[in-house]
Structure 1
Amino acid sequence: MWWKRLFEKNFDHTVERFIAAQPDFTFKAFLGYGSYGRAYLIETSSSQQQFVLKCLRPKHGRHQKTIDKFKQESDILQQLSLPYVPSIHMTGTIQGIPFFIMDYINGQTFEQLIFQNGAKFTMTQSLAITKQLLTQIIAIHNHGIVHRDLRIPNILLVNKQLHIIDFGLATPFKENIDLATIGNPKQAQNHISDLYFVGHFLLFLLYSSYEPRSQQEKAWQHELNLPVEVKNFLERLLWIQEPFPSAAEALQSMPY
């Protein structure tokens, strides 16, 4: 509805005024929005250090379940306290709408690298990047959290180091889930979800250097012509073969 969009645009000005009233923050830019949140770039006047203010979209302001889910994201980020995950610096409300201020990760997402910059990754590079990602995921799981949205827009590269953002769909890790009860691996509340996303992430990396030899589209197993060890590894991530029992097992089973 047009009036809802207008309402949210007006709320952007409310956020700007809120930031202007803070003793050491300057409003820089509107970054964008997702299904549940709106994000703004802000900066400290004293050190020019940049942060992101993320608030719940105003249209969800009366939906308690959505509010609770939004607040859970900031709780999870505070619980993790990992160097490659944004840290929380402030929480509060703006006209009753919850927000939090977190680190701004000044890097490029793999979506930008591949589709805007035309970056190409060899199989060796793709596996090395995936190894680093799995190492980070293991630490997140050890903190009792599943990310559940490890897509290429949510993984950034900063000076050859990966950073993971957007924990809006993250949830506490549930042990001993019967795999037969999992309908959609993306929504699983255990390692299955994150490993499934890692499989697709690895496919994006591998396809970045793929040159099609015909106009006929085939399954990735045929198009990419991968060594059998890599193909089997991917199929276990993607739940085509028997899935890995944990992210740690996946890391240990990485080829090469």
Structure 2
Amino acid sequence: MWWKRISEKSFDQAVELYIAEHPDFSFKKFLGYGSYGRTYLIEDCSSASLFVLKCLRPKHRHHQKTIHKFQQEIHILQQLSLPYVPTIHSAGTISDSPFFIMDYVNGQTFEELIFQNGTKFTIAQSLAITKQLLEQIVQLHNYGIVHRDLRIPNILLVGQQLHIIDFGLATTYQKQIDISTIENPKRAENHISDLYFVGHFLLFLLYSDYKPSKKKEKVWQQELKLPIKVQDFLERLLWIQEPFASALEALQSMPPFIDKNH
């Protein structure tokens, strides 16, 4: 079919043309892409405020299941009214691909902080950051939403505040799931998924300050040599020990730490 042959470059040009035809905004630059979406930075000409235009990638624009997921992301973001989640301002279509415009979060992802900047986090700092993330997840779950993609590229630091982006895999929280039937914790439609990702997020923070002493890799429990309460907490997040019954229980079970900023 002819519509399958549109290139990403041609689509980028269509986005720029669309913005040019709407004088309230000016096109700034292409930001990046994921499995399903492409994102662009645009500016409100009257206020000079920056926004992100996220559009479904052209190769998916006739795939009904993918379109439904993209529309679900729009619906979820429209439901949420939280200071650490981008607000949607408008939605529409460009070259048959749905798009939406949302707030631009001017911060750095933890992927950038750790792997580009070389930022190192102590155990206390890692736990303090994780505590803030869990507080936000508890609120998300209270809204009935599970993010399901809380990886280091999707969590930003703005000053001392965390922000969560990319709700492309988010879904409605299913309260009646039998945990014993879950095969892949990443895809679970309840707290198990988000807590599993939080476990890996915390591991990235802890490994940022790790200096290997031997060439041979060991399991993280042996390499990091964490306090037993921190190790047990991580193992519950990662499904190695009995998982937490909710994000709130995980938050209330946080190991003690000294936050030097307070």
Question: 2: CA distance between counterparts of 1:204 and 1:62?
Answer: 37
Kept in 1, the 8 Å contact 2:157–2:163? The answer is yes
Distance 2:32 2:80 in 1: 24
| Aligned equivalents of 1:118, 1:16: Cα separation in 2 | 35
**Deviation at residue 4 of structure 1 after TM alignment:** 6.6
Residue 48 of structure 1, CA deviation: 1.1
Q: Aligned runs of 1:145-224 on 2, under 5 Å?
A: 145-224=145-224
2:244 pairs with 1:244: yes
Deviates more, 1:147-156 or 1:56-65: 56-65
CA RMSD of aligned residues (A): 1.2
Whole-Å separation in 1 of the counterparts to 2:38 and 2:240: 36
Q: Provide the rounded CA distance (Å) in 2 between the counterparts of 1:211 and 1:183.
A: 34
SS in structure 1 of the partner of residue 7 of structure 2: helix
Report the Cα distance in structure 1 between the residues aligned to 2:100 and 2:232, rounded to whole angstroms.
42
User: 1 CA distance for matches of 2:147 and 2:134?
Assistant: 12
Aligned length: 254
CA deviations over 1:147-202 (Å, ceiling 9, x no partner): 00000000000011000000000000000211111000000000000000000000
Question: Aligned partner of 2:79: which letter?
Answer: Q
Q: Deviations over 1:111-151 (max 9, x none)?
A: 00000000000000000000000000000000000000000
SS of residue matched to 1:22: coil
8 A Cα contact 2:6 2:59, kept in partner: no
The alpha-carbon deviation at position 94 of structure 1 amounts to: 1.2
User: Structure 2 stretches of 5 or more lacking a match?
Assistant: 257-262
Report the Cα offset of residue 23 of structure 1. 2.7
> When the two structures are superposed, what TM-score results if normalisation uses the length of structure 2?
0.95
Q: Distance in 2 between matches of 1:4 and 1:201?
A: 37
> Hey, which bits of structure 1, 4+ residues long, moved more than 4 A?
3-6
Task: Write the deviation string for residues 72-128 of structure 1: whole angstroms up to 9, x where unpaired.
Answer: 001101101210000000001112211000011000000000000000000000000
Aligned: 1:26 with 2:30: no
Tell me how far apart the structure 2 counterparts of residues 128 and 65 of structure 1 sit (CA, whole Å). 39
TM value normalised by structure 1 = 0.97
**Residue 5 to residue 40, structure 1, CA distance change in 2 (3 Å):** farther
Shift of 1:5: 8.1
Corresponding residue of 1:227: 227
Matched, 1:54 2:48: no
Does residue 82 (structure 1) correspond to residue 82 (structure 2)? The answer is yes
Between stretches 54-63 and 162-171, larger displacement belongs to 54-63
- Identity value in percent: 74
Q: Distance in 2 between matches of 1:30 and 1:93?
A: 18
